[in-house]
Amino acid sequence: MKVLRDKRIQFILTGIIFILLVNVLPIKSSTYTILTSCVIYSIAALGFNVLLGYTGQISLGHAAFIGLGAYVSAFVTQDLKLPFLVGLLAAGVVPILLGLVLGLAALRLEGHFLAIASLGFGVAIQQTFKVLTGLTGGFTGKTAPSAVIFGAKLKGGPEYLAFAVIVLVILCIFVYNIYNSKTGRAFIAMRDSVHAAQAMGIDVVKYKLIAFSISAFYSGIAGSIYIHLVKYTQPDVWGIVLSINLLGMVVIGGLASIGGSIIGASFITLVPDIVLEIPVLKDIPSSGTIFTGLAIILVIRFIPEGVIHVIGRVKGKIFKSGGKKNELTESTESVN
Amino acid sequence: MSLLKVQNLSISFGGLKAVDSLNFEVPQNSIYGLIGPNGAGKTTVFNCISRFYTPDEGSVMFYPEENEVDLLKLKVHEVVSKKMVRTFQNVELVKMMTVMDNLLIGLHHEIKTNFFQEALGLAKLKEKMYHDKAREVLKFLGLEKIENEIAGAQAYGVQKLIELGRTLMSEPKLIILDEPAAGMNHTETEALAVLIRRIRDELGISVLLVEHDMALVMKICEKLCVISFGKKIAEGTPEEIQNNKEVQAAYLGGEE
């Protein structure tokens, strides 16, 4: 059973089980859309966690990267008539260029100064979406075709959800591998002590730019999967609310944790929909948003390390496992 | 033949001259101490040598092998690849990482895996040999049992050893230690003295250290440089320094 201890195998198995379940269980078609949204935001949160959780850099403009990915993917598939997978790849690569620009700003700014600068950056990009009508269609919005892979059209519902899950699993494995290598160690060393990192030969400029590139890439991929699900977008979607939600996902789920990113993303995505199912609450206007805010406050007050750590603790109590290796996400508070 | 040559080094912050025309040379294969009262500018000198500060004047030349290295031309992160590496006054470990991973950070510049190999998980195989090297270092320090434990959970003295181990990973010619004994108890300091000697004798690594624990300094250093208010006031063997009137005055406050 040693194979099962490998996190990467766990990701793959979880993905397969999830895909099988959603295909077998009787699920409404609207539920598929919600679940696919969870997967999409999980991808974005995963990338955002590379930045915030591992490298300690904040950004309040990340919605712009997701939006850019969405527009690029729509442009490549709709206007250039290129295959969906080309659009997906372009949606990942193009935001990297923007990520590098924000990364360069991060070289000179820290903490709340970086937060404000990235906020401005996000707003500027969102405004650009409004005027750059050639790419985005401006306020009219932009449509995108259904995803087609090697001639096979992915129908909405279970097929597209399965595709999104596969992408998520691959990206989880990528990020897991990076965390457990030279680059991941450099990220964490930089976050905990810039001076020590430099003294050990870590080029802070290089690794900050890498972190911003990875998170921009993940955001762009999320944007691409989003637009081929919804098939339409307009600039208002890519504003500050989404950026803050992304921050909420990572904080609620757990900083510097892959599982935490997914749990946080699912939480923020699902809460408004669940609230709408409850009889009394659904009559209150914007009750979903209110409950999301409430949930963030409660989590920060009672489990500041994130939901994933509660799960970890419960699991630890049940199995009493002593595996300490790679538990980088372990909270340090108790240790110091 | 000297290993490190600091010439005419000066740096000021605002109007304060923190280091003033300082000259000293660390001989090859030696244990050299830089001492002085609080605020004398010792750590500032270290920061200039390790490139955290750029001095206003002077030169810092390093001779790890035949060729000479002008340290002032390097960026901070490039220094370690020239075979000189430092520790910090307050332990700067990645507390939530394992001891092993902390040591691997010390080998950062030597690990030649690229980003794509890492993402695809191909780097793991290449990293095996670096793990072996880390185990050797841990064995040298007597820490082989805690390889997979979290660094931040270790006692302070042990954390200092781990930080020292991290510097040994890159096989340097010179390590500069900023108050290695600070916060250690008597027994730990004794063990540290033995260890620093072994680093020099068995690994052939020279040591430059700033330290307040006079007993330690007098015991292990072959040569000392005393600075006060950024200026060198004496240089010599521990015996010479102990009998130097000016040094006594700087530490204890002499008659004017």
Q: Domain-by-domain residue ranges, chain A?
A: 2-240
Check residue A22 and give its pLDDT.
87
Binning pLDDT at 50, 70 and 90, where does residue A336 land? Answer: very low
**Which pair of tokens denotes residue A257?**
């944790």
Q: How far apart are CA B188 and CA B185, in angstroms?
A: 5
Q: Quick one: average pLDDT of A260-281?
A: 88
Interval A110-135: pLDDT, tens: 888 999 999 999 999 999 999 998 88
Binning pLDDT at 50, 70 and 90, where does residue B77 land? Answer: very high
Q: Locate tokens 């965390």: which residue?
A: A179
Q: Locate tokens 């300094």: which residue?
A: B217
Q: How far apart are CA B232 and CA A49, in angstroms?
A: 49
**Which pair of tokens denotes residue A327?**
């538990």
Check residue A224 and give its pLDDT.
97
User: Of A182, A204, A336, which is closest to B111 when you measure between CB atoms?
Assistant: A182
Binning pLDDT at 50, 70 and 90, where does residue A333 land? Answer: very low
CATH number for the domain formed by residue range(s) B90-171: 3.40.50.300
Q: How far apart are CA A261 and CA A10, in angstroms?
A: 16
- Whether residue A85 contacts residue A148, with contact meaning beta carbons closer than 8 Å, is answered with no
Interval B143-200: pLDDT, tens: 989 999 999 999 988 999 999 999 999 999 999 999 998 888 889 899 999 999 999 9
Q: How far apart are CA B215 and CA B211, in angstroms?
A: 10
Q: Which of B101, B108, B65, B68 is nearest to B85 (CA)?
A: B108
Interval A211-248: pLDDT, tens: 999 999 999 999 999 999 999 999 999 999 899 999 99
**Higher-confidence position of A128 and B124:** A128
| Whether A330 contacts chain B with CB within 8 A | yes
Q: Quick one: average pLDDT of B138-146?
A: 93
- CA angle, A262 as apex, B104 and A253 as ends, to 5°? 80
Helix (H) or strand (E) segment spanning residue B81: none
Binning pLDDT at 50, 70 and 90, where does residue A334 land? Answer: very low
Q: Domain-by-domain residue ranges, chain B?
A: 1-83+173-179+204-256, 90-171
DSSP code of B175? Answer: E
Dump strand ranges (E) for B82-127. Answer: 84-86
Say whether pLDDT at A19 is over 80: yes
Chosen from A181, A190, A191 to mutate, greatest number of chain B CBs within 10 A: A181
Which residues 6+ apart lie within 8 Å of B61 measured at CB? Answer: B4, B5, B7, B68, B69, B70, B71
**Which pair of tokens denotes residue B69?**
């290295």
Interval B226-244: pLDDT, tens: 999 889 999 999 999 988 8
Dump strand ranges (E) for chain A. Answer: 142-143, 148-149, 152-153, 232-233
Can B1-83+173-179+204-256 and B90-171 be said to share one CATH topology? yes
| Whether A204 contacts chain B with CB within 8 A | yes
Nearest CA in chain B to A323: B148
**Higher-confidence position of B15 and A249:** A249
Instruction: Tally Cβ neighbours within 10 Å of residue A121.
Output: 21
Nearest CA in chain A to B106: A200
Q: How far apart are CA A324 and CA B152, in angstroms?
A: 13
CATH 1.10.260.40 fits B1-83+173-179+204-256, yes or no: no
3-state secondary structure labels for all residues of B14-27: CCEEEEEEEEEEEE
Q: Locate tokens 């496992």: which residue?
A: A321
Q: Which of A105, A99, A129 is nearest to A238 (CA)?
A: A129
Say whether pLDDT at B37 is over 70: yes
Cβ distance of A185 and B109 shorter than 8 Å:
no
User: Of B85, B96, B105, which is closest to A332 when you measure between CB atoms?
Assistant: B96
Is the interface score ipTM higher than 0.90?
no
Query: Please, is B220 exposed, middle or buried when counting C-beta atoms within 10 Å of its C-beta (0-12, 13-18, 19+)?
Result: buried
Instruction: From chain B, pick out residues whose CB is under 8 angstroms from the CB of A327.
Output: 150
Nearest CA in chain A to B166: A200
**Which pair of tokens denotes residue B211?**
């330290």
